[in-house]
Amino acid sequence: MSDADDAREVPPVVVEVVRGAPTEEELAAAIVVVTEEYTREVADATAPDDAVRSRWELNARGLREPLNRAAGWNGFTG
């Protein structure tokens, strides 16, 4: 992967200073730190592409039916 590919993956950063008057260096340092942490968080939160679901997991979804909330407790025959 080239540097150009890496630059396209990172979304642009928008910063709004609400209080104070940071210098350009302080603002740049804050942007670098926040961008790095955001990139790390996205990388950790993304499931790997090779995550394979087992056959049981694929078939078990079809066994469940939605809960019939209209039946209430009257449907209990136990």
pLDDT of residue 61: 64
Burial 29-50 (b: 16+ CB within 10 A, else e): eeeeeeeeeeeeeeeeeeeeee
* Residue-level pLDDT at 52: 78
Q: What is the pLDDT of residue 22?
A: 92
Confidence (pLDDT) at 36: 92
* C-beta separation of 49 from 78 below 8 A: no
| Local mean pLDDT, 10-residue blocks, the chain (78 residues) | 56 81 92 89 79 76 70 64
pLDDT of residue 2: 55
